[in-house]
């Protein structure tokens, strides 16, 4: 056992996270389904985000532990927005406090502020958002070839931008600290249109199906707050950037199609996305 490796802190679909060299660092060790090139790309993206001065974990280096490669990062102490949402909801339920949908339970405003900071940077030597999206749409098995061609045609009609984008701004990828928030998991970062990130977030909040192990109270709270969370998110981002829902609208069908290639969402959610894609394609063709 490597003497620098500490206790296991968490696990995701592609990696396990352990303490590293005490309390100040972590190592994100890849699972067998993750190739080393993906780790190298994530480290590169994180270094670019760090060099922009964004609030991200400081990236250090690649390390091999017992024939597994991983990335060493600064350890960020805090809770993800998703964990905070679950804990707050269960606490309210225990104390029989009513749900106030006007409260920002999933910190949509903080998410909008952080994305605006990310999008304010133009960088080079990063993957093309548009190429990544087209690749994902082409490989999904949930759309016909004709539907894929229609979606890509719509994408090609949208002017290209060259701004830094995160690619996966979900509530599990923002860590709330005492005085600020930190954006993690930059493996899907690219250069492109901010509106794609915004559509990604809105579609996720609108259609997300929580795992069955999540308590019913949390499921109900998400259902009750979806629309208000989206409204707050768009309002906050528009206040900072001037970008409105009308600017995001062309991206909804594109990002919904791209999400069909994701491993981390349920079949039920993919069915809802397919229905939405068909509805939008029918209304535009």
Question: Does the pLDDT of residue 141 top 90, yes or no?
Answer: yes
Q: Which domains does the chain have, with CATH numbers?
A: 5-74 (3.30.200.20), 79-284 (3.90.1200.10)
Read off the pLDDT band of 192 (50, 70, 90): very high
Burial of 46 (0-12, 13-18, 19+ CB in 10 A): buried
Question: Does the pLDDT of residue 104 top 70, yes or no?
Answer: yes
- Which H or E run contains 74? strand 68-74
What's this model's pTM, rounded to 2 decimal places?
A: 0.94
Instruction: Quick: pLDDT tens for 106-138.
Output: 999 999 999 999 999 999 899 999 999 999 999
Write down the pLDDT at residue 285: 53
Write down the pLDDT at residue 284: 56
Read off the pLDDT band of 282 (50, 70, 90): confident
Among 211, 193, 210, residue whose Cα is nearest residue 249 = 193
Read off the pLDDT band of 99 (50, 70, 90): confident
Q: Residues near 24 by Cβ (< 8 Å), separated by ≥ 6?
A: 74, 75
Q: Are the C-beta atoms of residues 71 and 43 closer than 8 Å to each other?
A: yes
In a 13 Å sphere around the CA of 212, the CA atoms on its Cβ side amount to: 3
Question: Does the pLDDT of residue 163 top 60, yes or no?
Answer: yes
Write down the pLDDT at residue 11: 87
Q: Are the C-beta atoms of residues 16 and 10 closer than 8 Å to each other?
A: yes
Burial of 97 (0-12, 13-18, 19+ CB in 10 A): exposed
Q: What is the distance, to the nearest Å, from the Cα of residue 64 to the centroid of all Cα atoms in its chain?
A: 27
Distance, first Cα to last Cα, the chain: 60
Instruction: Quick: pLDDT tens for 56-87.
Output: 999 999 999 989 999 999 999 999 999 999 99
b (16+ CB within 10 A) / e for 241-251? bebebebbebb
């Amino acid at each position: 056992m490597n003497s620098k490796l500490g206790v296991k802190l968490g696990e995701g679909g592609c990696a396990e996270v352990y303490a590293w060299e005490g309390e100040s660092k972590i190592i994100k060790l890849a699972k067998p389904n993750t190739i080393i090139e993906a780790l190298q790309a994530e480290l590169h993206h994180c270094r670019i985000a760090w060099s922009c001065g964004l609030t991200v974990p400081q990236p250090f280096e690649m390390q091999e532990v017992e024939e597994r490669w991983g990335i060493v990062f600064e350890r960020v102490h805090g809770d993800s927005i998703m964990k905070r949402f679950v804990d707050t909801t269960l606490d309210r339920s225990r104390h029989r406090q009513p749900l106030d949908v006007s409260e920002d339970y999933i910190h949509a405003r903080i998410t909008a502020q952080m994305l605006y900071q990310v999008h304010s940077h133009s960088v080079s030597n990063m993957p093309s958002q548009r190429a990544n999206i087209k690749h994902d749409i082409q490989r999904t098995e949930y759309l016909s070839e004709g539907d894929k061609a229609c979606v890509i045609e719509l994408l090609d009609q949208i002017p290209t931008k060259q701004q830094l984008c995160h690619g996966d701004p979900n509530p599990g990828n923002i860590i709330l600290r005492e005085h600020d928030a930190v954006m993690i998991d930059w493996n899907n970062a690219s250069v492109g249109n901010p509106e794609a990130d915004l559509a990604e977030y809105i579609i996720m909040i609108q259609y997300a199906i929580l795992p069955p192990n999540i308590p019913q109270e949390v499921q109900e709270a998400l259902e009750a707050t979806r629309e208000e969370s989206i409204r707050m998110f768009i309002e906050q981002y528009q206040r900072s950037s001037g970008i409105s829902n009308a600017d995001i609208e062309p991206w909804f069908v594109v990002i919904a199609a791209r999400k069909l290639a994701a491993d981390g969402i349920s079949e039920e959610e993919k069915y809802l996305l397919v229905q939405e894609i068909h509805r939008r394609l029918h209304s535009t063709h």
